[in-house]
């Protein structure tokens, strides 16, 4: 039986035939010399994403390709990948290629070197390569979320994160959970930290979100997370007699 990897890199993709193969190769190069696996979760793409990734498995032995039978969204794809992951530390990246895989090992190292209660190290994008409208909407959304949830995060929309698999699986699941991981980790009694990461232009494909659609989803999700925080009671640790 093959030994378990130290790091599982989880990448959700939907209609990313143009970006996914190159991204898989970049990830393999970034984590070379480490004991890792790469899981791409195809969220029922309508293009050739699944076939393009499957064709890479012979060249990248660490690559695993999972496929949803029906489109279920980014958060569910991430969860499917985490459930299938075999390593205690998970690194996530967006599938569009805008996150730089070269930043992944640093986040994983910071998490591994931290205290046991440190459950997540998130990336904070510097010099964002998005449209002005998208940057403004993101800045407003992050400001409101940070004030209400007090999650200390400046950029929860960054897909590049490293977290402990066990901690993630303790969290209540709901659609769009990936944008609220810092707040939910803190709610569960864990610590979180953040590091600056690179951000790149999208080279192929198109964004799956609109500013209006993101705003509508964020408003209802934010109220739900506020409710979860108010309904939480901490035992301040558990001792066995």
pLDDT on residue 160: 97
Terminal alpha carbon distance of the chain? 37
pLDDT on residue 79: 98
Q: 7-230 has which CATH code?
A: 3.90.550.10
pLDDT on residue 209: 55
Instruction: Specify the 3-state DSSP secondary structure of 118.
Output: strand
Distance of CA 115 to the CA centre of its chain: 21
pLDDT tens digits, one per residue of 80-139: 999 999 999 999 999 999 999 999 999 999 999 999 999 999 999 987 655 565 665 566
Per-residue tokens: 27: 């990830």
What DSSP character marks residue 154? S
Return the number of other C-beta atoms located less than 10 Å from residue 48's C-beta. 15
The C-alpha atoms of residue 63 and residue 8 are separated, in whole angstroms, by: 10
pLDDT on residue 212: 52
Low-confidence ranges of the chain (pLDDT < 50): none
pLDDT on residue 148: 78
pLDDT on residue 3: 85
Domain boundaries, the chain: 7-230
Nearest of 114, 56, 68 to residue 89 by alpha carbon: 114
């Amino acid at each position: 039986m093959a030994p378990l990897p130290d790091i599982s890199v989880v990448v959700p993709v939907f209609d990313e035939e143009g970006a996914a193969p190159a991204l898989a190769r970049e990830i393999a190069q970034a984590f070379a010399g480490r004991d890792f696996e790469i899981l791409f979760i195809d969220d029922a793409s309508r293009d050739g994403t699944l076939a393009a990734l499957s064709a890479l498995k012979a060249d990248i032995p660490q690559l695993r390709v999972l496929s949803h039978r029906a489109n279920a969204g980014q958060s569910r794809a991430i969860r499917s990948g985490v459930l299938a992951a075999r390593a205690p530390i998970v690194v996530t990246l967006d599938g569009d290629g805008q996150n730089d895989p070269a930043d992944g090992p640093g986040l994983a190292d910071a998490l591994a070197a931290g205290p046991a209660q440190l459950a997540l190290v998130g990336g904070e994008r510097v010099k964002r390569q998005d449209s002005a409208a998208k940057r403004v909407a993101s800045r407003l959304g992050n400001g409101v979320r940070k004030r209400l949830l007090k999650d200390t995060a400046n950029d929860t929309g960054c897909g590049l994160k490293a977290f402990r698999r066990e901690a993630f699986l303790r969290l209540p699941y709901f659609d769009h959970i990936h944008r609220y991981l810092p707040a939910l980790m803190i709610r569960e009694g864990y610590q979180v930290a953040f590091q600056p990461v690179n951000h790149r232009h999208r080279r192929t494909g198109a964004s799956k979100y609109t500013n209006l659609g993101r705003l509508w989803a964020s408003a209802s999700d934010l109220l739900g997370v506020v409710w979860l925080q108010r309904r939480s009671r901490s035992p301040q640790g558990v001792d066995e007699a």
